[in-house]
């Protein structure tokens, strides 16, 4: 079974006529089914879909978490496709903030509420447990975190004063199951890549073939990236298509242990699962 993956939004673009932004959006095409995993922060994902000649058929949308760079483009898709279904964790609409270099807390949450989306026609579906969005395409639900140190939550808070730590409990991933193998899509992996993989292993007996998306390793220590790389090799992961918050240095280290490529806007991958 073939699964096609196309990056519609990312930090990097390498093809003329496409737009880049700090964000992530991935189009999943499995046989006749389409799903959008994240929608970027603005109009880039929809623009790039049109520029790439992708024929969108009002695909359901999965939000990996509530940060603006993964959810902000939702309104542009709702204008194009009214009554789209949106799948996410129940905490996806919580306000959240990030400390920047000037020690001010910036609002980085989704730029709308659940009620605002519903007034615009969206059908919002919130699940904390794994949920099958379309046949063979699942959300992980809230991810257990036995590898506590793997969480990527430094500097994040639920209040503007920065007093309430945000552990980004709404961070979820998408799993695509084929007859023999599975594919994992990550938004930012705030829950930790190893934790997410263990969640997937609890959901399916299929071999995890590949990982696509943001691994949140840009500021990770080299020894931690190597530990993850060894974990991936032990699990038999054949390919990592890294993007968004992964970082070039981390991708280079991963590439010493497993096949790893840096993906950009317009990258198209076909997996046989």
One digit per residue, pLDDT tens: the chain, 273 residues?
899 999 999 999 988 999 999 999 999 999 999 999 999 999 999 999 999 999 999 999 999 999 999 999 999 999 999 889 999 999 999 999 998 655 578 899 999 999 999 999 999 999 999 999 999 999 999 999 999 999 999 999 999 888 999 999 999 999 999 999 999 999 999 999 999 999 999 999 999 999 999 999 999 999 999 999 999 999 999 999 999 999 999 999 999 999 999 999 999 999 999
The residues pairing with 166 across neighbouring beta strands, listed in sequence order, are: none
Closest listed residue to residue 214, CA positions, set 194, 186, 179, 184 = 186
Q: Which residues face 3 on adjacent strands?
A: 30, 271
* Per-residue confidence (pLDDT) for residue 147, from 0 to 100: 96
Predicted pLDDT at 15: 87
Q: What is the dihedral of CA 230, 131, 218, 72, to 10 degrees?
A: 170
Query: Locate tokens 């590949």: which residue?
Result: 210
Of the chain, the end-to-end C-alpha distance in Å amounts to 5
CB 238 within 8 A of CB 269: no
What's residue 153's pLDDT? 94
User: Where in the chain are the domains?
Assistant: 2-267
Query: From the CA atom positions of the chain, what is the Rg in Å?
Result: 17
- What's the rounded Cα separation, in Å, for the pair 9 and 37? 10
Q: Which structure tokens are listed for 194?
A: 């190893």
Q: Which pLDDT does position 103 carry in this prediction?
A: 56
What's the whole-model pTM score?
0.96
Superfamily of domain 2-267: Ribonuclease Z/Hydroxyacylglutathione hydrolase-like (3.60.15.10)
Residue 178 CA neighbour count, 13 Å, CB half: 20
């Amino acid at each position: 079974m073939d699964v096609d993956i196309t990056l519609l939004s990312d930090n990097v673009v390498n093809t003329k006529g496409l737009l880049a932004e700090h964000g992530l959006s991935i189009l999943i095409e499995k046989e006749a089914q389409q799903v959008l995993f994240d929608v970027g922060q603005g109009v880039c994902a929809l623009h790039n879909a049109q520029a790439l000649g992708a024929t969108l058929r009002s695909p359901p949308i999965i939000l990996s978490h509530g940060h603006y760079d993964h959810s902000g483009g939702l309104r542009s898709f709702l204008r194009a496709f009214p009554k789209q279904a949106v799948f996410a964790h129940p905490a996806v609409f919580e306000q959240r903030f990030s400390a920047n270099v000037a020690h001010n807390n910036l609002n980085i949450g989704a730029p709308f509420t659940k009620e605002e989306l519903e007034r615009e026609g969206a059908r919002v579906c919130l699940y904390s447990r794994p949920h099958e969005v379309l046949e063979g395409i699942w959300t992980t639900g809230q991810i257990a975190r036995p590898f506590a140190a793997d969480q990527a939550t430094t500097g994040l808070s639920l209040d503007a004063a920065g007093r309430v730590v945000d552990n980004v409990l709404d961070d979820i991933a998408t799993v695509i199951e084929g007859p023999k193998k599975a594919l994992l899509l990550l938004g930012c992996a705030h829950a930790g890549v190893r934790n997410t993989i263990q969640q997937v292993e609890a959901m399916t007996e299929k071999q995890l073939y590949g990982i696509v998306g943001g691994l949140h390793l840009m500021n990770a220590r080299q020894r931690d990236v190597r530990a993850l790389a060894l974990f991936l090799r032990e699990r038999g992961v054949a390919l990592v298509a890294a993007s968004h918050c992964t970082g070039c240095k981390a991708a280079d280290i991963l590439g010493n242990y497993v096949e790893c490529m840096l993906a950009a806007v317009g990258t198209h991958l076909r997996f046989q699962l």
